[in-house]
A and B are shown apart, each in its own frame.
Chain A
Amino acid sequence: MDFLDELYRHYQLGYPKFHKMDQLSKLGVLATDILLNESDHANKYGSDETGIVLSNSHGSLDVDLKYARTMEAGASPALFVYTLPNIVIGEIAIKYKFRGENAFFVFKTFNGNFMAAYVNGLFDSKLIRNCICGWVDYLGEDYRALLMLVETSGSEKAIPFTAEGINLLNNTSHG
């Protein structure tokens, strides 16, 4: 059984739409669920106060290839709608009703400097009160998600959201 499906079962998501998603969206939704699990996020923020800024290196290539294989016999609309990297943001936004600013960037590798500057810019402009950001990549057997919840005040365990901080987090999370 697929690892993502196993996680779905383990965390008892109870969200049938999950099964229709491409692998990138499944990974993003699961990672968000784990990130927000046991937090009182939903009570703390209004629907347009949460931003989502994600990045990866393979865009939507995983499902692009799957869709391309259906083109001969009769292209699959359900696969086609996932052939854009930002659909994973859409799926997260739908599940949690997040309507704040959202963006998807494609970089060769995780770019903590850009992520920190961009997300801090959103906070400085008072566009959002919290942000889910990071890296969600999926291709073939290879996948990786590193999501962070950025808030203006955090618990003692929280680390400061700086380029150095998240680059370190990225380097140490590479198993």
Chain B
Amino acid sequence: MDKLMGQLKRQIIERLNLKDLKPEDIGDDQPLFVEGLGLDSIDALELIVLLQQDYHIKLDKAEDGPKVFHSVRTMADYITKHSPAKKAS
């Protein structure tokens, strides 16, 4: 889990061009949107693409976004539960 969260932080910074941030600046439970990291709706859509491309997880409804992308930990949870590799095993 910690490894996945670390990886996610690097991916988020890279994908969303958060150039002023380092992975250690993002708390595991820190809210990613609005009052937290200040991400917006387009960032949420980029995160959906990130899930699709890097984890092969498809999020069909944008409305699920706020729950899944609340923090790095909720994202990691979601990935662990929905990873296609997990399901196959």
Contact = CB atoms under 8 A, between A and B. Distances in A.
15 contacts: A16-B20, A19-B17, A19-B18, A20-B16, A20-B17, A74-B52, A75-B49, A77-B46, A77-B49, A78-B16, A78-B17, A78-B43, A78-B45, A78-B46, A81-B42
Contact of A16 (B38, B45, B49): B38
A67 to B, nearest CB: 12
A73 interface: yes
Interface of B: 16-20, 38, 42-43, 45-46, 49, 52-53
Chain A interface size, under 10 / 10 to 19 / 20 to 34 / 35 or more? 10 to 19
Contacts of A77: 42, 45-46, 49
A76 interface: yes
Contacts of B38: 16
Contact of A73 (B17, B42, B53): B53
Interface string A130-154: 0000000000000000000000000
